[in-house]
Structure 1
Amino acid sequence: MFETFKTILGLFVVLPFLAGVGLYLSIKLRWLQLHKLPLAFRLITRKSSGKESISSFGALSAVLGGNLGTGNISGIAVAIATGGPGSLFWMWIMALFGAVIKFAGCFLGLRFRQMSTRGGYVGGPMYYFHYGLNRPFLAKLFCVLTLITAVTVGGFVQINSITLPFFEFGVHPAILGLSMAVFVGYVILGGLKRFAKISMLIVPLMAVGYLLACFFIMIRNLDAVVPAIKLIVVSAFDFSSLLGGVAGYSIMSALKSGFERGLFATDSGVGLAPILHAPVTDRSPGMDIAISQGLISMISPIIVMIVCTLTGIVLLVTGVWQSTELQSTTMCVEAFRVGFDIFEAGHLVTVTLFFFAFTTILTWSYCADRAVEYLFGEERIKYFQYIFIALIPVGAFAHVNIVWSIADVSMSLMMALNVIGVVWLSPIVIKETRAFFYPKRSLPGEVIMQQEPKSAAICKAGDEKSVR
């Protein structure tokens, strides 16, 4: 019964809704995720000032840290195995729609952000539900779902996914879980600046290192690369590949888990990016900060899809994707062993998985902290952090099916709720974005909002007073 509910929710509600909203916003915003992408890359070089603020690059690194989870490696193998090589094509289509949803969410996150009592800005879906829509109940609900998803997807799932590969190294799950808890504790107890600094250090290094390894395998199998790309395009229009690709975009871990299992791969609509970009204070001359951060947020789905695509091509050129004996992570490990022609090369995947899991846990922890801050106040954050750290080792022994069952539903509901808020407030996004980029085409009387809304201390979750 529960599995049926998950399937219906994921494949027949969440997916069509996400695609429909993405298409609607793409048309209304004139496909800015395509022609404004070069501008987005130029905007990430600004530096921030202030103890409780981070730079645009720091925010982007934090988002990528959450997006580049273990599903980007193991999930891509499942997508290709179940939906065929054409699934990669449909992942890109979904990423295209997801990027514009992320733009809208980050725009709203910056537009309705508030000044916290500790100094610095906080924002995210809970704040545009509260201050944009005057719906504090929906803000509370989103925070509750964020906490549930942070513990399951952001904690249990990540550590559980790397337990088996490390066990082959001779590392006991308890040792792995405790080690991860220590590393995570060091970072999240150090505050926002330490979190951003670690993200800016680890995320680019692990992403570049992994991509270079993929390129090396592709060069060694250069004659198979073009046929692999042709296979992706041709098989994309096979009906079975279409279904597999749509589910594969969310980097699902198994066919039965459906679309919702891998939504965290690109955070398209889940609502993490608006939370992570809200503290940014750096401004670009002549740019509205809400628009600039919205543009920068569109970079992460592109980078994630590059990682996913190269992983898929490696699986294709090495031929391991056709193996019926290999599944998920083991398929990727074998692909690197075959690609490098060295048995130990598979260890590279295992190490990469560790860092992917580490940064994903950090990102979800930060977002959960903001949910606790909204619900209970800043003074309760430390208590939650200790609980979160203590639960990490539990994930190494947790029953993965139970964890995923909870995570599937909570993340799907979290995404659906956030996208509803984005659609509800989309007239503001559309009006202000059009007025900024196309002022001559604006309707008479339209005003371009170039200033931040007045800052205010965070109202308690039950306070109905809006600062807008």
Structure 2
Amino acid sequence: MEQIVNIVTSFSNWLWGVPIISLLVLSGLYLTIKLGFFQFRYPLYIVQQTLGSVFKKPKGEGDISPRQALTSALSSTIGAANIIGVPAAIMFGGPGAIFWMWVIAVVGMAIKFSESVLAVRYREKNEAGEFVGGPVYYMAKGLKWKWLASWFAFALMIELIPSIMVQGNAVSSAVRETFNGDTLITGIIVAGLVALVVFGGMKRIAKVTEIIVPAMALVYVGAGFIIVLMNFSQIPDVLGLIFSYAFQPMAALGGFAGAAIAETIRWGFARGLYSNEAGLGTAPIAHAAAQTDHPVRQGFWAVIGIVIDTLIICSTTAFVVLSSGVWTREGAMSDPAALTTIAFREYFGYTGSLLVTISLIFFVLSTIIVIIFYGSRQAEYLFGLTAGKVMKVVYIASIVIGSIGGAQMIWNFLDFMLAMILIPNMIAVLMLSGEVKRLTTEFFSSEKYYKKDVAEKKAS
């Protein structure tokens, strides 16, 4: 077993070095240029059309509102990656990993925008009359490559097993740290709760996530912001660590074992990607069901998702862990999952531990519910309805297994599987980028969309 872990770790380290980093950065830059730097040219307009229109009635066809599509997509991204993935990046890659996490967030906006635009463009209705879309549909209908669609569906279906294990490991570690609870029992309880709701449809999931996600995100970010303010004098030092060690190796410091530049970049990119899912093709599955009058308009919601998930929530965790100094404590390397909980407990006492644990439980529950839905849809696409139900059982069992698994072993296997879905999806997105460009140009030049919105804004 140890030999298998070493092989997977070595291959993951290599794959998430030059190959994946080059693919993501170059693809993101290419799409940013091809789409006319839209995320830099229209930031206020994007905010107005998303967060500024949260309570407006959406236009066009779809099963759920754009807001519900966003919160459903955020449910699969806001979870273990935000609360324990960030400390893992710091412990295994150093503070500089946070810089590379930010880089992939900005570059990833163009990628995630393109994915979501394509998901809406090539979506269709299933036998139940529900809108379905995502990579398998734009691969099969846009590229006419059904073999690639089948590969993606199979790889995503399998990748979600270690992904769910990570979520189970995160919540069991938090419960152990806060309540001294047994990890196995925690895993069983979480699995039971998920099983109660996992057989619901997308509409039910959307109704649940649009309440849970905003509420818990506000509570978590608010509490984290208070800790950062309490350590306000440390902010210049924290920023110095992040920027200086993004480009140079860092020696061991206390409980931190040190990190080479390659490890810093790898952990920053990998954890940033796992957090915001740019290039993975998972969030577009949710965005495809949204009510919208144009694919580009829904693409803006995907961009806002990265801002909320990575630039706000992940950064909050990073500043809490770095400014509090818990990352340099002896023994910190053995369990990065507990660092956020320890930091909150130091400043808020038992209430802090409780806050992180409750936030994590709700984030993990919503995450698992949504990604099980994603995975079951891939199984249904490949093998039919029964296979989807079987995979739901497999995913639920993975929660229990992950609750007692080793953190780094799971993370390394997850990185390997992430690459197996990222590569085919990025091939499809790049090959269909001409269609994304056409739709984007249409949206910003048409009197029906951008120009009409601007005119209405001026009139009001």
CA-CA distance at 1:142 after TM superposition: 0.5
Q: Does 1:312 align with 2:318?
A: yes
CA-CA distance at 1:302 after TM superposition: 1.1
Q: Does 1:354 align with 2:373?
A: no
Paired with 2:295 and 2:72, the residues of 1 have a C-alpha distance of 18
Relative to structure 1, is the Cα distance of residues 389 and 83 closer, same or farther in structure 2, using a 3 angstrom cutoff? closer
Q: Does 1:296 align with 2:301?
A: yes
Deviations 1:393-447 (A, max 9, x none): 233234656644543322111011101110111111123212432469xxxxxxx
Relative to structure 1, is the Cα distance of residues 225 and 407 closer, same or farther in structure 2, using a 3 angstrom cutoff? closer
1:332 aligned residue (325, 337, 340) = 340
Relative to structure 1, is the Cα distance of residues 201 and 51 closer, same or farther in structure 2, using a 3 angstrom cutoff? farther
Paired with 2:386 and 2:60, the residues of 1 have a C-alpha distance of 21
CA-CA distance at 1:362 after TM superposition: 1.4
CA-CA distance at 1:390 after TM superposition: 4.2
Q: Does 1:14 align with 2:8?
A: no
Paired with 1:14 and 1:6, the residues of 2 have a C-alpha distance of 10
Please name the residue that 1:63 is paired with: 73
Contact 2:175–2:357, Cα closer than 8 Å, also in 1: yes
Please name the residue that 2:256 is paired with: none
Please name the residue that 1:254 is paired with: none
Greater alpha carbon shift after TM alignment, 228-237 vs 305-314: 228-237
Contact 1:86–1:233, Cα closer than 8 Å, also in 2: yes
The structure carrying a bigger helix percent of its residues is: 2
- The SS at the match of 1:229 is helix
CA-CA distance at 1:59 after TM superposition: 1.0
Relative to structure 1, is the Cα distance of residues 40 and 346 closer, same or farther in structure 2, using a 3 angstrom cutoff? same
Please name the residue that 2:4 is paired with: none
Please name the residue that 1:119 is paired with: 129
Contact 1:51–1:193, Cα closer than 8 Å, also in 2: no
Please name the residue that 2:174 is paired with: 165
Greater alpha carbon shift after TM alignment, 47-56 vs 217-226: 47-56
Q: Does 1:29 align with 2:35?
A: yes
Relative to structure 1, is the Cα distance of residues 395 and 312 closer, same or farther in structure 2, using a 3 angstrom cutoff? closer
Please name the residue that 1:424 is paired with: 431
CA-CA distance at 1:347 after TM superposition: 3.2
- The SS at the match of 1:13 is helix
Relative to structure 1, is the Cα distance of residues 380 and 90 closer, same or farther in structure 2, using a 3 angstrom cutoff? closer
Paired with 2:30 and 2:246, the residues of 1 have a C-alpha distance of 23
Paired with 2:399 and 2:91, the residues of 1 have a C-alpha distance of 30
Please name the residue that 1:370 is paired with: 377
Paired with 2:197 and 2:79, the residues of 1 have a C-alpha distance of 18
Paired with 2:373 and 2:214, the residues of 1 have a C-alpha distance of 19
Paired with 2:133 and 2:308, the residues of 1 have a C-alpha distance of 24
Relative to structure 1, is the Cα distance of residues 322 and 107 closer, same or farther in structure 2, using a 3 angstrom cutoff? same
Deviations 1:63-98 (A, max 9, x none): 111111212222222333444433323321111111
Relative to structure 1, is the Cα distance of residues 292 and 439 closer, same or farther in structure 2, using a 3 angstrom cutoff? closer
Paired with 2:354 and 2:276, the residues of 1 have a C-alpha distance of 25
Greater alpha carbon shift after TM alignment, 431-440 vs 367-376: 431-440
Deviations 1:218-251 (A, max 9, x none): 222233334433543444444668645533434x
Contact 1:89–1:245, Cα closer than 8 Å, also in 2: no
- The SS at the match of 1:337 is helix
Count of residues paired in the alignment: 425
Paired with 1:67 and 1:26, the residues of 2 have a C-alpha distance of 22
Residue segments in structure 1 that go unaligned for 5+ positions in a row: 251-258, 284-288, 441-447, 449-468
- The SS at the match of 1:182 is helix
Deviations 1:246-288 (A, max 9, x none): 33434xxxxxxxx3x66321101001111111111243xxxxx
Letter in structure 2 aligned against 1:395: G
Contact 1:87–1:249, Cα closer than 8 Å, also in 2: yes
Relative to structure 1, is the Cα distance of residues 160 and 73 closer, same or farther in structure 2, using a 3 angstrom cutoff? same
Identity %: 33
Letter in structure 1 aligned against 2:174: P
Relative to structure 1, is the Cα distance of residues 54 and 218 closer, same or farther in structure 2, using a 3 angstrom cutoff? same
Normalising by the residue count of structure 1, what TM-score does the alignment of the two structures yield? 0.83
Please name the residue that 2:453 is paired with: none
Please name the residue that 1:180 is paired with: 190
Paired with 1:330 and 1:388, the residues of 2 have a C-alpha distance of 24
Contact 1:37–1:298, Cα closer than 8 Å, also in 2: no
Contact 1:146–1:414, Cα closer than 8 Å, also in 2: yes
- The SS at the match of 2:17 is helix
Relative to structure 1, is the Cα distance of residues 49 and 152 closer, same or farther in structure 2, using a 3 angstrom cutoff? farther
Contact 1:187–1:198, Cα closer than 8 Å, also in 2: no
Q: Does 1:53 align with 2:63?
A: yes
- The SS at the match of 2:23 is helix
Deviations 1:150-169 (A, max 9, x none): 2221x222112222332341
Relative to structure 1, is the Cα distance of residues 67 and 219 closer, same or farther in structure 2, using a 3 angstrom cutoff? same
Contact 1:188–1:194, Cα closer than 8 Å, also in 2: no
Deviations 1:332-351 (A, max 9, x none): 222223333x2552332222
Contact 2:380–2:388, Cα closer than 8 Å, also in 1: yes
CA-CA distance at 1:119 after TM superposition: 0.5
Letter in structure 2 aligned against 1:150: L
Task: Write the mapping of 1:62-211 to structure 2, written as runs, cut at 5 A.
Answer: 62-153=72-163, 155-168=164-177, 169-211=179-221
Contact 2:105–2:272, Cα closer than 8 Å, also in 1: no
Paired with 2:236 and 2:434, the residues of 1 have a C-alpha distance of 43
Task: Write the mapping of 1:389-428 to structure 2, written as runs, cut at 5 A.
Answer: 389-398=396-405, 403-428=410-435
Contact 1:68–1:360, Cα closer than 8 Å, also in 2: yes
- The SS at the match of 2:438 is helix
Please name the residue that 2:278 is paired with: 268
Contact 2:87–2:339, Cα closer than 8 Å, also in 1: yes
Residue segments in structure 2 that go unaligned for 5+ positions in a row: 1-6, 251-259, 450-460
Letter in structure 1 aligned against 2:215: L
Relative to structure 1, is the Cα distance of residues 105 and 352 closer, same or farther in structure 2, using a 3 angstrom cutoff? same
Paired with 2:194 and 2:92, the residues of 1 have a C-alpha distance of 34
Paired with 1:338 and 1:403, the residues of 2 have a C-alpha distance of 28
